[in-house]
Amino acid sequence: MNNIHPAVEIAEPKISRFLFSDTRFAWVWLLLRIYVGYQWISAGWEKATNAAWIGSGAGAAVKGFLAGTLANTAGPHPSVSGWYAYFVSHIALPHAVLFSYLVTFGELAVGIGLIVGAFTGIAAFFGILMNFNYILAGSISTNPLLLLIQLFLVLAWRNAGWIGLDRFALPALGVPWQKGTLFQKQERV
């Protein structure tokens, strides 16, 4: 009676396997990674070289951006929702200096991770997180496009970094459900 509801595995379509796990498609992911990574590095570097983000005036730019966000919560059709305005006013604004550094170095880290193909799925996930926050704050710009590309990079985590450091890092480190070669016990001869 243990098999009242046996597990059913639904086969993955061939196109899905090709896009998200076949290393032959890695060249396409490389081009998309470089594009998105360049966008993040450019944005992060611009912030890193600006005193309103890093250094003596850290937090000033974040306060200005968040003030604009809060201004977009008014009117009959606000572009920023009330719950996000609460987050901005009660968490982000009081810690503007911290957020200034997190955004700057987060953008640089995501960009570097995507370009070199190191922990591509994780880098893309954190890129999505930042893009969602920018969109929720009322800043559209390139955020929807970057978010969409990064969503596909997360889905393609197995092959998106194949032409990059993930080709070596993932087999060595493994994944939570499978130990990598660095963590497997070596048999003694």
Among 132, 115, 127, 120, residue whose Cα is nearest residue 157: 120
Region 50-77: mean pLDDT is: 94
Give yes or no for residue 185 having a pLDDT over 80: no
What confidence score (pLDDT) does residue 95 get?
97
Report residue 2's pLDDT band, with 50, 70 and 90 as the boundaries. Answer: low
Pseudo-torsion of CA 101, 102, 104, 105, nearest 10°?
100
What confidence score (pLDDT) does residue 184 get?
83
Report residue 74's pLDDT band, with 50, 70 and 90 as the boundaries. Answer: confident
Residues 6+ apart with CB under 8 A from 1: none
Rg of the chain over Cα atoms, rounded to whole angstroms, equals 21
Which pair of structure tokens corresponds to residue 93?
């604004």
What confidence score (pLDDT) does residue 15 get?
94
Give yes or no for residue 135 having a pLDDT over 90: yes
Region 162-176: mean pLDDT is: 92
Per-domain residue ranges for the chain?
34-159
Greater confidence, 31 or 3?
Answer: 31
DSSP string, 50-98: -TTTSSTTTTHHHHHHHHHHHHTT-SSS-SS-HHHHHHIIIIIGGGHHH
Residues 6+ apart with CB under 8 A from 26: 159, 160, 162, 163
pLDDT in tens, 79-109: 999 999 999 999 999 999 999 999 999 999 9
Give yes or no for residue 178 having a pLDDT over 90: no
3-state secondary structure of 133: helix
* Cα(70)–Cα(80) distance, integer angstroms: 7
Pseudo-torsion of CA 150, 175, 30, 113, nearest 10°?
70
Contact of 121 with 153, CB cutoff 8 Å? yes
Residues 6+ apart with CB under 8 A from 13: none
Report residue 188's pLDDT band, with 50, 70 and 90 as the boundaries. Answer: low
